[in-house]
Amino acid sequence: MNKMFKERFKYYKRKSPVPDFSSVIDLDNNVFVSQAHQIELNYKSDVEKPPLGLEPPKKWLCYALNSSGVIIIRNPFTARGQRYWISRCLRDYPRGPNVNNLSPHLFPTEVLDNWWQCLQKCSDKDEVRRLGISLRWATLGYHHDWDSKKYSEERRGNFPEDLASISTYFASILGYKNYDAQAAIVNFYPIGTTLSAHTDHSEPNRMAPLFSFSFGQTAIFLIGGRTREDLPLAVYLRSGDVLVMSGESRLCYHAVPRVMKTLDEPWNDPIPLEGVASIESPRCKKARIEPPTAEPDEENGFDTLLYLKVVDEAFWSPFKIFLNNARININVRQVLNAGESSLPTSEQEELKN
């Protein structure tokens, strides 16, 4: 039997001749009439204010892909919010004790410990390129084992509080109660790279939603059915988009056959400075920000100094350069079932078996 998913993947991955993109669902240009529909969010009017960098929910545009159970919130982030999360993904999340794909056989310890800092200090163009394209993923919280496809209590780190806060906020707006973000995979995609067809079935809790945050260049995302024989839908995922997979869609095959140059760069949009004290900067007199006298979002674990710094164009410049040819994707999951505080240890699993 012809594997429809594989054929669609190969088609959109193709470099020459360039594929026809007219069948890709485009939420910005209403090219989705028969394949998706806009939905209203039934959140409570007294819902708490959003975390830093998010627009209020009343401004969100939310769509459901027909028959797939997938929801897409079309860029609910402010430009400053996008900058914050891009910075966190590049500067902080690849660092230890988080785990990344960089091999100790190929890179010295200082690169493994602080990839972003080494990338900025490097002056050799060839090495800069090698460093830039070598980081492909980092894991947070429960560290996914790529060989066994399982999580374990022995490979568990602290989950970033800010990422947990924003994930819980999205869950509450969408009606998912008691959501607990416990694991994340941060993917780094240079233009031209792909993610092959797979399902997300490693988590013991497959009822909780998976939140996928996209930043940077545009991706074509494929979502199919429970088998590779099902013809997938194709949809553009643009910077700031939040894709939510829950229920049936958690076990559906999905993939990214193409990362492509975007026409819009919302992460570089001008950022208003109302209510923020500024000091003169040689490169951008309006954008250099002094540290705050009070923590504006301390309860949600945000790095408020970083949130101020990303307005400074001199500080932002290396992140902007990296995003010129790359996409970043954060996948957040709840691992444990309700009422559980930990996974069985290896010894407990052996005794059970």
Residues at the annotated binding site?
198, 200, 254
Going by the annotation, the residues of the binding site for Fe cation are: 198, 200, 254
Taking residue 288's Cβ as centre, other Cβ atoms within 10 Å add up to: 19
| CA 349 – CA 291 distance, rounded (Å) | 49
> Residue 305, SS3?
helix
Say how far residue 194 (Cα) sits from the centre of its chain: 15
Surface-to-core class of residue 343, CB atoms within 10 Å of its CB (0-12 exposed, 13-18 middle, 19+ buried): buried
Pairing of strands 70-73, 99-100: unpaired
Residue closest to 112 by CA, chosen among 100, 120, 122? 100
Helix then strand then coil, in percent of the chain rounded to 5, is 30, 25, 50
DSSP string, 67-119: TT-EEEE---B-HHHHHHHHHIIIIITTSTTSEES--TTTS-HHHHH-HHHHH
DSSP string, 107-148: S-HHHHH-HHHHHHH---HHHHHHHHHH--EEEEEBPPBTTT
| CA 161 – CA 181 distance, rounded (Å) | 9
Give the full edge-to-edge strand order of the sheet including 218-223: 195-198, 254-260, 218-223, 233-237
